[in-house]
Amino acid sequence: MFQRHLFLISVPTPKTSPMNNNLKCLVCGDKSSGIHYGVLACEGCKGFFRRALQDVGDPARKKCFYNKNCDITILTRNRCQYCRLQKCLALGMSRSGKEHILLAK
C-alpha cells in the first residue's frame, strides 16, 4: 500500500564544508583561521593578542591617539594597538581561552 523510499543525502563534513572558508575574524574582518583565545580570529589578530599578553608594559598599547574610538578593519588594524587590544578583550579574547580550534583550509 505505502511505499517507503530511502534517500541518501550527502552532508559536508566540517573539514570540507564550504562555510569554513567564509568565516571572518571577529576583530578585523580578515579570513579567520579558527578559534584563538576563545574568539574566531585570523592569524594576525591571534599573533597580536599573544604578543599583547607577553608585552603587558608596552606603551603603544596603553594609549590611543584618536579618542579611543578607532575602527578596526583589515586595512586599519595596525594603526592603533590600543583600540585593537580593547576590541579583542571586548569580544572575549582571554588567556584562559587559549585552546586553538583550527578550521580546514
**pLDDT tens digit at each of 105 positions of the chain:** 555 544 444 444 444 444 456 899 999 999 999 999 999 999 999 999 999 988 877 777 789 999 999 999 999 999 999 999 999 999 999 988 665 555 555
Which CATH homologous superfamily contains domain 23-94? Erythroid Transcription Factor GATA-1, subunit A (3.30.50.10)
pLDDT value of residue 6:
42
What residues does 101 pair with on adjacent strands?
35
Local structure of 56: helix, strand or coil: coil
User: How many C-beta atoms lie closer than 10 Å to residue 48's C-beta?
Assistant: 21
Local structure of 27: helix, strand or coil: coil
DSSP letter (8 states) at residue 35? E
Contact 80, 73 (CB under 8 A): no
Q: CA 95 from chain center: how many Å?
A: 14
Domain ranges, ordered by start, for the chain? 23-94
Contact 37, 98 (CB under 8 A): yes
To 5 degrees, how large is the angle CA 58–CA 87–CA 83? 50
> Mutual orientation of helices 81-91 and 43-54 as an angle, nearest 10°?
100
What pTM does this model have? 0.72
